[in-house]
């Protein structure tokens, strides 16, 4: 994801950083490895059925808002129809932006397409004017999506198919679904003639899923258009009880994990494939992967993650999980903490998520070896994507342990820093990111999120959290602007796993309820 420039103008990485150096693997190699190829709410509330002709302040309601623009499902289907796949160099987002621009302009809202140097790869900025000069609230949602493996999908990933109460499509979860909830909730307020106490900026950005022209580029070139006092983007999960339906835990993320990459390289003897030999680069790399696959970094509880797991213990109806969480939170030694964490992951209905929140993670993502079937190659390489817990194990400590575990295996481990950056400079940059404080929970936006959660999900527990992935919040948080994240729909684990995967989907009913959540959030900023 894109980032903002720190004081020394060097970019800092987070999820799929647009400012990181290009990977060593070509676009063709990446496509080869991925296999990628080129409802209304009850009572009609979101369709304007309860809309007043004018707000209490006397502002006339816009006449041009179409019912389909007020329906999150209908709008999401239109968003999903645009193929905005980003293969690492940005996607084609202009047609999607033009559609949204027309939606905003029909509602009487000024919207501007901001082109980037890459053809048809654009940002869209809409601004709803407020009644005061209070620092604006900015909603940040990306239009690009990761590539699809079409043959692995059970439906057309760009058709917005609804099946068994779920809407399928690339981006339905991450994050066109959230964008649809954001936009339709705001349009409902506008349909009612509502006015807000500050400008609300809705930025639909590009290059969030990698590329050079994301929010960092936008901040460098057009900061005046996106300068804000608070930012809301993707992040916090709305989790269900073990029954997969009942809202359990509503979270808002106030901090992202620390993003970095490691490259493993094994060298061997290149020769004719008719003569296998012990000095095989691929075999060496495979043995290193096997050694690392079962290893996990140590558990690290920080104030942010400790608060999250404490809230989860209050929220769950699953007594064995609750007991495991209490063991984790009360553990006095690292050994006891590790045992309890393993039990938490085993008992959790969201095991991969909760494992990721407990420690630095490493995932094998891109492998490159060989070029011809009758040649044993001399080199085999693997990129490993890592996510560190801020305030926990530092990336330099993780790297040292990684190297220690691979000692004697004839495999090199390199930290993939920015272009021209030494390893030590990269580690210092990551140290600073790891030590960065989370966003404040004292802001009006955090208060609005909490209040909306209490009204929309009264039986669930609300808590701040750590995002196991990353966002485009860097340009704002690096300037001290608080930034938060929500995916405003309740998910079960099967749906969560489809993020960046196959058959990505969310529940239609959860999308509708999440839109009501967003409506109530924005209501906190509405002028009475």
Q: Convert the pLDDT of each residue in 2-49 to its tens digit.
A: 333 333 333 333 444 433 343 444 433 433 333 333 333 333 333 333
- What residues pair up with 127 in beta bridges, in sequence order? 110, 201
pLDDT-based confidence at 379, cuts 50/70/90? very high
Q: Given a cut of 90, is residue 129 above it in pLDDT?
A: yes
pLDDT tens digits along 485-509: 999 999 999 999 999 999 999 999 9
- What residues pair up with 264 in beta bridges, in sequence order? 382, 413
The whole-angstrom separation of Cα 504 and Cα 160 is 10
Task: Please compute the mean of the pLDDT values over residues 377-394 and round it to a whole number.
Answer: 97
- Of 6, 15, 495, 86, the C-alpha closest to 253 is 15
All domains of the chain, ordered by start, with CATH?
44-257+437-523 (3.40.630.10), 258-297+360-388+391-435 (3.30.70.360), 300-359 (no CATH)
Task: Please compute the mean of the pLDDT values over residues 395-402 and round it to a whole number.
Answer: 97
Higher pLDDT, 290 or 16: 290
Task: Please compute the mean of the pLDDT values over residues 345-349 and round it to a whole number.
Answer: 98
Task: Please compute the mean of the pLDDT values over residues 243-266 and round it to a whole number.
Answer: 98
Q: Are 175 and 487 in contact (CB under 8 A)?
A: yes
DSSP structure class, residue 40 = P
Q: Given a cut of 90, is residue 61 above it in pLDDT?
A: no
CA angle, 467 then 469 then 470, to 5°: 95
Q: Given a cut of 60, is residue 522 above it in pLDDT?
A: yes
Q: Are 232 and 524 in contact (CB under 8 A)?
A: no
Q: Classify 174 as helix, strand or coil.
A: coil
Q: Tokens 């705001």, residue?
A: 186
Give the rounded distance of the alpha carbon of 480 from its chain centre: 20
Residues composing the chain: 528
Task: Please compute the mean of the pLDDT values over residues 255-274 and round it to a whole number.
Answer: 98
User: Concatenated DSSP letters for 395-457?
Assistant: HHHHHHHHHHHHTTSSEEEEE--STT--HHHHHHHHHHHHHPPPPPS-SHHHHHHHHHHHHH-
The whole-angstrom separation of Cα 443 and Cα 7 is 24
pLDDT-based confidence at 209, cuts 50/70/90? very high
Task: Please compute the mean of the pLDDT values over residues 411-436 and round it to a whole number.
Answer: 96
3-state secondary structure labels for all residues of 340-371: HHHHHHHHCCCHHHHHHHHCCEEEEEEEEECC
pLDDT-based confidence at 245, cuts 50/70/90? very high
Note the pLDDT of residue 456: 98
Beta strand pairing status for 162-163 and 166-168? antiparallel
Give the rounded distance of the alpha carbon of 273 from its chain centre: 43
What is the reported pTM? 0.89
pLDDT tens digits along 294-335: 899 999 999 999 999 999 999 999 999 999 999 999 999 999
In Å, how far are 280, 305, 441, 457 from 450, measured between CA atoms?
56, 18, 10, 10
Note the pLDDT of residue 357: 98
Note the pLDDT of residue 262: 98
Q: Which phi and psi angles does 250 have, rounded to 5°?
A: -105, 115
pLDDT-based confidence at 59, cuts 50/70/90? low
In Å, how far are 77, 268, 372 from 377, measured between CA atoms?
46, 7, 8
The whole-angstrom separation of Cα 97 and Cα 202 is 12
Q: Are 409 and 287 in contact (CB under 8 A)?
A: yes
Note the pLDDT of residue 62: 73
Task: Please compute the mean of the pLDDT values over residues 119-127 and round it to a whole number.
Answer: 98
Q: Are 176 and 145 in contact (CB under 8 A)?
A: yes
Beta strand pairing status for 505-507 and 166-168? antiparallel
3-state secondary structure labels for all residues of 249-264: EEEEEEEECEEEEEEE
Q: Are 155 and 463 in contact (CB under 8 A)?
A: no
The whole-angstrom separation of Cα 428 and Cα 434 is 10
């Amino acid at each position: 994801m894109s980032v903002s420039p720190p004081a020394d103008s060097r970019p800092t990485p987070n999820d799929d950083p647009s400012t990181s150096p290009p990977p060593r693997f070509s676009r063709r190699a990446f496509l080869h490895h991925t296999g990628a190829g080129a409802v209304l709410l009850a009572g009609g509330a979101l369709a304007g059925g309860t809309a007043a002709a004018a707000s209490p302040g006397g502002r006339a309601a816009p006449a041009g808002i179409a019912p389909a623009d007020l329906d999150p499902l209908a709008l999401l289907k239109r968003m999903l129809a645009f193929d905005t796949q980003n293969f690492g160099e940005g996607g084609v987002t202009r047609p999607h932006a033009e559609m949204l621009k027309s939606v905003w302009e029909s509602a009487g809202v000024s919207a501007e397409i901001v082109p980037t140097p890459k053809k048809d790869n654009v940002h869209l900025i809409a601004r709803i004017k407020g009644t005061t000069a209070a620092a604006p609230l900015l909603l940040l949602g990306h239009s690009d999506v990761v590539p699809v493996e079409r043959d692995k999908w059970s439906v057309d990933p760009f058709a917005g198919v609804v099946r068994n109460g779920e809407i399928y499509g690339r981006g339905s979860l991450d994050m066109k679904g959230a964008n649809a909830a954001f936009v339709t909730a705001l349009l409902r307020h506008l349909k009612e003639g509502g006015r807000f106490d500050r400008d609300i900026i809705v930025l639909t950005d590009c290059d969030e899923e990698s590329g050079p022209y994301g929010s960092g580029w936008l901040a460098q070139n057009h900061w005046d258009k996106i300068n804000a006092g608070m930012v809301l983007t993707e992040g916090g999960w709305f989790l269900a009880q073990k029954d997969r339906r009942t809202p359990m835990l509503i979270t808002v993320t106030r901090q992202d994990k620390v993003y970095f990459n490691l490259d493993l390289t094994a060298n061997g003897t290149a020769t004719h494939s008719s003569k296998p030999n012990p000095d095989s680069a691929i075999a060496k790399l495979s043995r290193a992967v096997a050694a690392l696959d079962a290893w996990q970094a140590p558990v690290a509880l920080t104030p942010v993650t400790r608060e999250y797991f404490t809230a989860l213990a209050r929220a769950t109806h699953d007594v064995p999980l609750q007991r495991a969480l209490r063991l984790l939170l009360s553990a006095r030694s690292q050994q006891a903490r590790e045992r309890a964490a393993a039990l938490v992951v085993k008992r959790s209905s969201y095991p991969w998520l909760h494992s990721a929140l407990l420690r630095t993670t490493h995932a094998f993502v891109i492998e490159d070896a060989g070029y011809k079937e009758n040649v044993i190659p001399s080199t085999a390489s693997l990129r490993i994507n890592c996510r560190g817990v801020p305030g926990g194990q530092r990336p330099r400590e993780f790297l040292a342990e990684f190297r220690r575990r691979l000692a004697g295996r004839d495999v090199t481990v390199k930290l993939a820093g920015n272009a021209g950056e030494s390893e030590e400079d990269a580690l210092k940059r990551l140290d600073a990111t790891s030590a960065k404080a989370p966003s404040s929970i004292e802001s009006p936006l955090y208060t609005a999120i909490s209040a909306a959660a209490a009204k929309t999900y009264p039986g669930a527990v609300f808590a701040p959290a750590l995002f196991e992935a990353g966002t485009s919040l860097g340009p704002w948080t690096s300037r001290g602007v608080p930034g938060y994240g929500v995916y405003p729909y309740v998910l079960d684990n099967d749906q969560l796993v489809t993020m960046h995967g196959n058959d990505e989907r969310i529940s239609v009913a959860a999308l509708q309820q999440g839109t009501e959540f967003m409506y109530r959030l924005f209501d906190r900023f509405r002028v009475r």
